[in-house]
Amino acid sequence: MKNCISCGMPLLKPEDFPLGDESKDYCVYCARPDGSMQSYEEKLEGMTEFIIRTQGFAPQAARESARSLMALQPAWKKI
Q: Quote the pLDDT of residue 1.
A: 86
Q: pLDDT truncated to tens, each residue of the chain (79 aa)?
A: 899 999 999 999 999 999 999 999 999 999 999 999 999 999 999 999 999 999 999 999 999 999 999 999 999 988 7
Distance CA 45, CA 7 (A): 12
Q: Quote the pLDDT of residue 37.
A: 98
Angstrom distances, CA of residue 67 to CA of 19, 29, 41, 73: 26, 16, 10, 10
**Facing residues of 31 across strands?**
37
